[in-house]
Structure 1
């Protein structure tokens, strides 16, 4: 049974592509995924059968072997560092809350800084297994 890695897969579109270990691109329809699996992460190693489709090779009976490692999980800060970042975020949010209680939004500079920090912290917490 051939193996390869997921080049990309879009659950909304219902398809993607696998790069077979032999170097060929293989079309990956959502119907080829195992029951209960709705998406595959880019770089995930898979085992599959190949059939001739309308436009070339098509994967069938896809079986995930190993998921690609999470880049976010590998690069996120240590818990002690994250605790300090969260405490700083709380201070920024507290200042913004006080401004809002006085019936005005924080300055555009403070708002951008707060939004940037919140997005970065959210990305560090949002680890997909």
Structure 2
């Protein structure tokens, strides 16, 4: 089994994402594979052990087991890097992982009817666009 961190889990909508410790794309997590007790406590930042399988909409978790206590999500641990602009205004440059998490949060809130596969597809394109334009760290 692989290990990772829950990036986002929406118990009301019944899905979320796992960021694998080995890197790569986040893994879609649907509530249908969780036992009732885990559905009640699962939240962002929790460490999990999981098995994943490829599907036509990306990688999805097929088994999940909670590891240890709640911790902060990895994106929250990434220090913000400040970069000075010509006009002396400072802006925060996010890591690709942090930018990806923020996109997920916005999409879940703004478009609740989107499927996990659609969220992954939009997020992948936005992160790629941001990286090409130097808006996020590579």
Instruction: Give the TM-score, by structure 1 length.
Output: 0.49
Q: Give TM-score, length-normalised by structure 2.
A: 0.46
When you count strand as a share of all residues, which structure comes out higher? Answer: 2
